[in-house]
Chains A and B, each alone.
Chain A
Amino acid sequence: MTKPLLIMCSLFTAIVALGSDHPAVRVAPTDSVGPRPLERQTETAVTRDYLQAWRSMSDALDQNRTDLLNQDFIGTAKEKLADTIREQANLGIHTRYRDGAHDLHLVFYSPEGLSIQLVDTVEYYMEVLDRDKVLAAQHVRARYVAVLTPTEIRWKVRVFQAEPE
């Protein structure tokens, strides 16, 4: 009796999270992030800009538009995503990434304040499409490591990489 109930609850949670326009976000307490204290305002800005980067990435990969990456990505992360978009366009496919839940841990803030690293256990729904035809769809749970660096007005994602949980 307990198992079906758990499955139903999980399914309900997934539907609620994925059905919402905004993902469920949990930010773990940041007591210590290495050599530099993390101010509340910085934590809020980094979290906001990282989540915005997910939205930009999702739109860019769905519409195969590299220009949508400019606001939130920089360096290697931007180059790799732009390459992916070009490959998708060449193959006539596009992908949709809908992030449903993020469990964020800010793990490192460099001494001079020029980079901040976070680990995100993220759940997202991924679809691969050939024009409007869905070729595949999958619910994914992955652990992402991201490094953000400050620019004039916002934090931008410089490293964005998933690893096995």
Chain B
Amino acid sequence: MAAKVISPGLSTSVQDLGRPGHYHVGIPEGGGMDRFATRIANLLVGNDPGAAVLEATFMGPELEFTQSAVIAVTGGELPPKLNGEERPTWESFPVKTGDRLSFGFLKGGARAYLAISGGIDVPVVLGSRSTYILGALGGHQGRTLKAGDELPIGEGSGKAGLSLPANLRRVWNSPAELRMLPGMYWHRITEAAGNRFFEETWKVAPEADRIGYRFRGGTPLEFVEREQPFGAGSDPSNIVDACYPYGSVQVPSGTEPIVLHRDAVSGGGYMMLGVVISADMDLIAQLQPHTPARFVAVTLEDALAARAEQRAALARAEGYLAG
């Protein structure tokens, strides 16, 4: 009762909805970077929305099934192929013993989510099956997949042919607009630098992974001059090491902003300009390197309204799939 990994793709790992509650000892919540896609993939195959799926980055794995199941692929446009024949995304379809699943080239977004009816049944560690790669924790042996791995699959009962229509999926604009609540150490930069930060168009750097996304192409920040506080370190971007929120935007040496994601480093000594709102975290998961992106300043009220909108969109999709 398993799926065999023939080839692993570029960076494929087991993820669910994460393990909150351990950030104070440096263990991040983890889980699918695109939560909406993770939940919908599961619902399409009759799983609990928090079952474990595979998250494939930029390139898909190749798998061979040793049992029949129903599967679905959501998230970025990474077209699945069953025994070489293309299948639609956002739609469940059956697989049987000996079938091979592979993927075509990525056409949009950055990460695809593969759900298998019954869920990927790796051991639960600290309340979750998610892989925390940096800490070698959870998932399949605490790491990304390798050729030859065998993934245990649980018992499931999904129906083939269930799909989520395009108008119920999330749309990505270009340039990507990342809404952000300025704050934290915003006062450390000059007003002109702050204005420029929001006016300029940045680009996703190649260093973009589950820990965080780096952006390049904007003007380096000017800092307000000060004598550095005791213990902070000598660079003007240094602070006494503090906790980093999920979505926080740190700018080491004032040059390249980094937005921390689900596998965030939990703290460190760089000032943060603010935090990308929770409603836009899924969007970051689907940005490819070199994608143009802008940061857009919002208020807490805007952030809460966007969060409510996103919940409503999820409820509409879930309602549709529940029939």
- Asked whether A and B interact, the reply is no
Binding site for B on A (CB under 8 A): none
Binding site for A on B (CB under 8 A): none
